[in-house]
Structure 1
Amino acid sequence: MTNELVVTDRLTKTFGNRTAVRDVSLTVRRGEVYGFLGPNGAGKTTTLRIVLGLATATSGTATVLGLPAGDSDAVVRTGALIEGPGFYPYLSGRDNLRSMARYRGLSDREVDEVLERVDLTARGKDKFKSYSLGMKQRLGVASGLLGTPELLVLDEPTNGLDPAGMADMRKLIRELADQGQTVMLSSHMLAEVEEVCDRVGVIAGGKLLVESSVRDLRGTAATLVRAEPLDAALAIGMRLAGDDGVHLHDGASMRLDIDPGRAPEVTAALVAEGIRVFEVRPIEQSLEEIFFQLTGTPVDTTLAADSISTERQVA
């Protein structure tokens, strides 16, 4: 049994003169939640489509569960929600899932189980056309869970969900991984990735910029100092951390890019200059700060329920 469920090697996809994905090499390991993070139009959906066999690469390779992407055996063992759910509008949510289950030789009991997992049991008899965007998204995830796939690929799984629904979806994804399933999800919501993912791949402009665990990506913690007067404290901070190692934080404190283990040294230097010290503690970079450093692109930590990915329109 391979420990690497998804492997791409120099994956490239072009559309005419436009390169959507360029030399992307990534690895998704068994039992983890892998976050594919990037702004709209970065190449996330195109990459996932190739992994699922819905599109062919211009060059490079992709394997899923040790098989070429799109292989029938790999497809059977993979669940997916890609580019939004598509169902019959005049059938109920449950009947939509039943039609999919029967095609795959699965029982109605499995349909009821996945409806319960995404909290749609009470609305399972309602017609799909009456569902909200968030409910449609949850039904799409339920369809991906049919058959208990080894690998679940989700494209923006929390799109359209309210805060409570987003929290429930994150909890579900973590439960799936804890039970041995592997989840690969794309997102440009940093809070989602930070809370639920074990490892992330950051993509921008079709290129994979980094692949790392969330912990390693955030790196060594810096030191947060809250002291007054702040101007005088900043001068001491620059002496200790260098001009480029001092950053204003929340307008009332400073972040020093130095090991938190130097907190006693920092405190002593400030007190020696008569500066009042209120707080000295470790602080880690957020994924938002790291993403901006890697791409030069600020990313919203929240996403409007009705926003539509540019990537989905062009890829």
Structure 2
Amino acid sequence: MNDLVVQTDGLTKRYGERLAVDSVSMTVRRGEVYGFLGPNGAGKTTTLRMMLGLIRPSAGTVSVLGRPAGRPDVITRVGALVEGPGFFPYLSGRDNLRTMARYRNLGDHAVDAALARVDLTDRAGDRFKAYSLGMKQRLGVASALLGDPELIVLDEPTNGLDPAGMADMRALVVSLARGGQTVLLSSHLLTEVQEICDRVGVINGGRLLREARVDELRGEATLRVRAAPEEAAIAVAMRVAGENSVRRTPLGLELDLSADAAPALVRDLVAAGVDVHEVSPTERSLEEVFFEMTAEAPTTKEKVA
């Protein structure tokens, strides 16, 4: 079985002179949660629309589940929520989903299952126009889950949700992947992505800057040390970690060592007569890495999403 659920090669979208997506080549693997990250206007939604066959690329190719994007036999195996849900305001949540289910030859059992997954069963009989923003978003996610699709594309699925609803949505996404489904998640909430995504792609100015596992992007953990006298601490730290693995920072010394090395380091510092005030492991957050990457990549005014 092909491990790649989504594969793009040189995917490009141009609107006249304006370049929205610039030669994006990315892969989404079966059973993973893939985070698609980028600032507003970076080209995320345009890329997702090409993956779903909603718009045609100007150049390049996109394959979904081993077939060209937008083919009828592909569409039935994909569920998506892109740029917010759109439903009939005068119909109830359940009737809106029933309408969508009929187009996919699905029965009421699929509707009830999707409503239960997003915790909307109790409010399914209410009209859509009476829903809060968070409830509308959950109904949109429910529509993407109809029929248990192999690939689920979610564009900002936690938009409008309260903290409890966001936690429930994160748990749902993780459970989908554990059940064998593949989730492509576009989000600006980097803490959320860091918690639940296996791999991420970072896009800015229409170009894919990096595609990697979350832990690869964040890099290795380091140890922060505050000790006095500092010169003596530096000498010990260089002996333990190596001369090129110790850096002075405003917060103390930073060593390229894992947390497992902390006990031995403290023993050596104390044996050398150094007073140890703090030894703590530190890791760069995905947010820090993201802002570094997007700040380094200039965008041009003619590029839009």
Shorter chain as normaliser: what TM range?
A: 0.7 to 0.9
Which residue of 2 is the match for residue 304 of structure 1?
none
Which residue of 1 is the match for residue 300 of structure 2?
none
Deviations 1:179-213 (A, max 9, x none): 00000011111011001101111111111111111
The 1:48–1:167 alpha-carbon spacing in structure 2 relative to 1, beyond 3 Å, is same
**Superposition pairs for residues 197-276 of structure 1, below 5 Å?**
197-225=197-225, 227=226, 233=230, 236=233, 240=238, 245-248=247-250, 253-254=251-252, 256-260=254-258, 263=262, 267=266, 271=270, 275-276=274-275
- For the residue of structure 2 that corresponds to 1:158, the secondary structure is coil
2:154 aligned with 1:161, yes or no? Answer: no
- For the residue of structure 2 that corresponds to 1:296, the secondary structure is helix
**Cα offset for 1:269?**
7.1
**Cα offset for 1:13?**
1.0
The 1:257–1:228 alpha-carbon spacing in structure 2 relative to 1, beyond 3 Å, is closer
**1:38 aligned partner, one-letter code:** G
Which residue of 2 is the match for residue 280 of structure 1?
279
Checking the alignment, whether the CA contact within 8 Å between 1:42 and 1:204 is kept in structure 2 is yes
* Aligned equivalents of 2:256, 2:204: Cα separation in 1: 29
**Superposition pairs for residues 37-48 of structure 1, below 5 Å?**
37-48=37-48
Checking the alignment, whether the CA contact within 8 Å between 2:246 and 2:253 is kept in structure 1 is no
* Aligned equivalents of 1:234, 1:102: Cα separation in 2: 73
**Cα offset for 1:281?**
3.5
Which residue of 2 is the match for residue 108 of structure 1?
108
Checking the alignment, whether the CA contact within 8 Å between 2:200 and 2:213 is kept in structure 1 is yes
**1:204 aligned partner, one-letter code:** N
The 1:237–1:12 alpha-carbon spacing in structure 2 relative to 1, beyond 3 Å, is farther
Checking the alignment, whether the CA contact within 8 Å between 1:234 and 1:246 is kept in structure 2 is no
| Further displaced range: 168-177 or 205-214 | 205-214
* Aligned equivalents of 1:52, 1:254: Cα separation in 2: 50
Checking the alignment, whether the CA contact within 8 Å between 1:110 and 1:146 is kept in structure 2 is yes
* Aligned equivalents of 1:144, 1:214: Cα separation in 2: 25
**Cα offset for 1:255?**
5.9
Deviations 1:150-192 (A, max 9, x none): 0000001111111100000000000000000000011111011
The 1:268–1:187 alpha-carbon spacing in structure 2 relative to 1, beyond 3 Å, is same
**Cα offset for 1:72?**
1.1
**1:97 aligned partner, one-letter code:** L
* Aligned equivalents of 1:102, 1:127: Cα separation in 2: 19
* Aligned equivalents of 1:142, 1:265: Cα separation in 2: 52
**Identity over aligned pairs, percent:** 61
**Cα offset for 1:19?**
1.2
* RMSD of aligned Cα (Å): 2.3
Matched pairs, number: 292
**1:193 aligned partner, one-letter code:** V
TM-score relative to the length of structure 2: 0.88
TM-score relative to the length of structure 1: 0.85
